[in-house]
Structure 1
Amino acid sequence: MIPDSVVLSVLVAFCISSAQGLNCYTCSTTSNEYDDNCVSTPTEDMTRDCNKKYCNIIRVEDKDPKNLVSSMSRGCSDAYLNGKTEDYTHIIYQMSCREDYCNSGSGKTASGGTHNYLGDKSTIYCPGTESSASTRLISIYTIIAFIAIFIM
């Protein structure tokens, strides 16, 4: 017979490990309060565990002077933002992605350097799935549970 404390411990560990959300960089900056780390190289202190579907970047550049970042925002949301739009004075880049820390790039292209304007059909999203590290952790807990069952 398996002690109740072992069963409870395995269940609690499983629930805690599977509750982890998407990890994203979060920061914002404007041309008046410019933060180069937010624009170019987000840092570890800019990370957050988000309970949203997507990490995203919204980058707004002035057309004159060309390529001047007017504002930049990294964060997370349930809304899928993707594309490039222009008006007379600005170019607005929007990018969404679904992997931990995938919003680390420039915002003009996906983190891998390719344009990420494929629309929401480019990735299949399966609610409840985790990153490979979380899946490995769940697998370890499952193995420990089976070992505990057969030893006891």
Structure 2
Amino acid sequence: MRLLIAFVLVICALQVDVTSGLKCYACVQNGIKGDRKCELSAKDVPNGVVNCNKKYCVIRRIEYVDQGGAVFSFYRGCEQSPDFINSEVTDSQFKTYFRSCTTDRCNDGNGISNGAGGGGFGDDGGGSGALLVPGIGGGAASAFSCPIAIISLLIFLLIRFALF
């Protein structure tokens, strides 16, 4: 019986998913006066990385149209269903850049580039970021699933009692 319990515990332990979800930079900046770390250097924002249980890391950069690209607001965070994926929307007052990606800390760029031109999402020139690939990434939090353990237990019991 001890062997059976040990067997079930080992099989269940192998089924534990230890991922902690998507890690995204998270911060908000209003305007260009004051601290601009959120816009210019996400890595330097204190406590600026969050464990996200959603699907996408995002950047939303809003600029004034009539002020030569001056930033109205800047946001980094995570969302399940962004309004737009790697798009720009312009109206009479603002130009808004929407950027979305699905790998850890991929929302580190300036929000203008969507990765076209070889720099990757992160704008560091090294291609370290990631563009959205639909259907990839789940950002799932830790989960416990043991269907294989149940099947394995049944097989073990059949073999044990059929052979002994």
| TM-score after normalising by structure 1 | 0.66
Distance 1:109 1:88, change over 3 A: same
Distance 1:110 1:5, change over 3 A: farther
Q: Deviations along 1:5-52, whole A, 9 cap, x unmatched?
A: 68647745752513x111100100101764311001102620001000
Match of 1:58 among 60, 74, 87: 60
Amino acid corresponding to residue 66 of structure 2 in structure 1: D
Q: 1:101 aligns with which of 105, 118, 121?
A: 105
**Inter-partner Cα distance in structure 2 for 1:23 and 1:84:** 24
State the distance in 1 between where 2:9 and 2:56 align.
33
Q: Alignment RMSD, CA only? A: 3.0
Could you say which residue in structure 2 is the equivalent of 1:17?
18
Give the number of aligned pairs: 123
Q: How does 1:35-54 map to 2 (within 5 A)?
A: 35-43=35-43, 45-54=47-56
Q: Show CA shifts across 1:102-128 (max 9, x none).
A: 10001111366368xxxxxx6142465
Note if 1:27 corresponds to 2:27.
yes
Q: 1:34 to 1:16 in 2, by over 3 A?
A: farther
Aligned to 2:95: 91
Q: Which amino acid aligns with 1:51?
A: N
Equivalent AA in structure 2 for residue 125 of structure 1: G
Task: Tell me the SS of whatever aligns to 1:49.
Answer: strand
Q: Percent identity?
A: 29
1:99-152 deviation per Cα after TM superposition (whole angstroms, max 9, x unaligned): 11110001111366368xxxxxx614246588xxxxxxxxxxxxxxxxxxxxxx
Considering only CA atoms, is the larger Rg found in Structure 1 or Structure 2? 2
- Aligned counterpart for 1:123 among listed residues 121, 130, 133: 133
Higher helix fraction (1 or 2): 1
* Amino acid across the alignment from 2:89: T
Q: Normalising by the residue count of structure 2, what TM-score does the alignment of the two structures yield?
A: 0.61
* Match in the other structure for 2:153: none
What is the distance in 2 between the residues matched to 1:40 and 1:129? 26
Contact kept, 8 Å, 2:54 with 2:139, in 1: the verdict is: no
Specify the alignment match of 2:144 in structure 1: none
> 2: CA distance between counterparts of 1:12 and 1:34?
50
CA contact (8 A) 2:26 2:78 kept: yes
Q: Which amino acid aligns with 1:35?
A: D
Aligned residue in 1 for 2:71 = 69
